[in-house]
């Protein structure tokens, strides 16, 4: 009986804290103003999440429609034109896929260079964050902007 009385409050606390970790609870906490914010007349930010935009992209991808976006950034992790460039490119791709399985990686051949680039970043800031993340493994990584290249929007959903 003592054990039961001891375990019940612990289980109740665990259940309450597990509910506090949900996405809805997180969104609710973000929507609440911070204590003391009204004292200093700080600006308020209202965040609105539109479900229909994400749903439209997912529906179009499922239906096979070809939606395109133009101009995005990638992080170049390998670029070489030597005699062993091809083997080096595929080795770099394998290392990248092993180290960062959640990021899409591409091998391109732009005469005379083999280039390995990663990510489909819509903004330069996003690419800079990705570069910072991969620079421990690839210290010579640099940003590469792909201009005017049409890519299917489904590439963004694969990440």
Q: Is residue 56 part of a domain?
A: no
**Model pLDDT, residue 51:** 75
Q: What value does the mean pLDDT take over residues 67-89?
A: 87
Q: Is residue 108 part of a domain?
A: yes
Specify whether 37 is located in the same domain as 72: no
Specify whether 27 is located in the same domain as 80: no
Specify whether 104 is located in the same domain as 136: yes
CA-CA distances (angstroms) from residue 49 to 22, 24, 27, 53, 109?
16, 12, 10, 9, 40
pLDDT category of residue 118 using cuts at 50, 70 and 90: very high
Specify whether 85 is located in the same domain as 16: no
DSSP 101-138: TTS-EEEEEETTEEEEEEEEESSHHHHHHHHHHHTTT-
Residue with tokens 């590439």: 155
* Tens digit of each residue's pLDDT (9 = 90 or more) over 89-113: 999 999 999 999 999 999 999 889 9
| CB contact at 8 A, 159 and 106 | no
Q: Is residue 137 part of a domain?
A: yes
The angle formed by the CA atoms of residues 36, 42 and 48, to the nearest 5 degrees, is 100
**Model pLDDT, residue 3:** 73
Q: Is residue 59 part of a domain?
A: no
Q: Is residue 57 part of a domain?
A: no
Q: Is residue 90 part of a domain?
A: yes
Report the number of distinct structural domains present in the chain. 2
Confirm whether pTM is higher than 0.85.
Answer: no
The rounded distance, in Å, linking the Cα atoms of 143 and 124 is 8
Using alpha carbons, select from 56, 70, 78, 76 the residue that is nearest to residue 155: 70
Specify whether 153 is located in the same domain as 89: yes
Taken as a whole, the chain contains a residue count of 159
**Model pLDDT, residue 158:** 52
Specify whether 41 is located in the same domain as 94: no
**Model pLDDT, residue 115:** 95
Q: What value does the mean pLDDT take over residues 61-90?
A: 83
Q: Is residue 79 part of a domain?
A: yes
Domain that holds residue 140: 68-157
**Model pLDDT, residue 159:** 47
Task: Check pLDDT > 90 for residue 117.
Answer: yes
Specify whether 82 is located in the same domain as 149: yes
The rounded distance, in Å, linking the Cα atoms of 106 and 71 is 16
* Tens digit of each residue's pLDDT (9 = 90 or more) over 1-60: 777 676 677 766 655 565 556 667 777 776 776 666 556 666 666 667 677 877 877 777
CATH number at residue 111: 3.30.70
Q: Where are the alpha helices (DSSP H) in the chain?
A: 2-20, 23-31, 51-63, 85-99, 124-134, 154-157
Q: Is residue 24 part of a domain?
A: yes
Task: Check pLDDT > 90 for residue 78.
Answer: yes
**Model pLDDT, residue 60:** 73
């Amino acid at each position: 009986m003592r054990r039961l009385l001891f375990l019940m409050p612990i289980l109740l606390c665990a259940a309450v804290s597990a509910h506090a970790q949900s996405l809805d609870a997180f969104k609710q906490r973000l929507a609440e103003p911070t204590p003391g914010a009204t004292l200093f007349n700080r600006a308020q930010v209202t965040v609105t999440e539109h479900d229909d935009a994400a749903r439209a992209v997912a529906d179009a991808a499922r239906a096979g429609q070809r939606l395109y976006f133009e101009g995005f950034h990638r992080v170049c992790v390998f670029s070489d034109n030597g005699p062993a460039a091809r083997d080096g490119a595929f080795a770099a791709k394998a290392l990248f896929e092993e180290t960062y399985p959640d990021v899409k990686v591409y091998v391109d051949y732009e005469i005379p260079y083999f280039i390995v680039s990663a990510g489909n970043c819509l903004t330069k800031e996003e690419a800079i964050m990705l570069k910072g993340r991969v620079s421990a493994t690839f210290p010579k990584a640099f940003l590469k902007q792909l201009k005017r290249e049409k890519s299917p929007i489904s590439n963004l959903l694969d990440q």
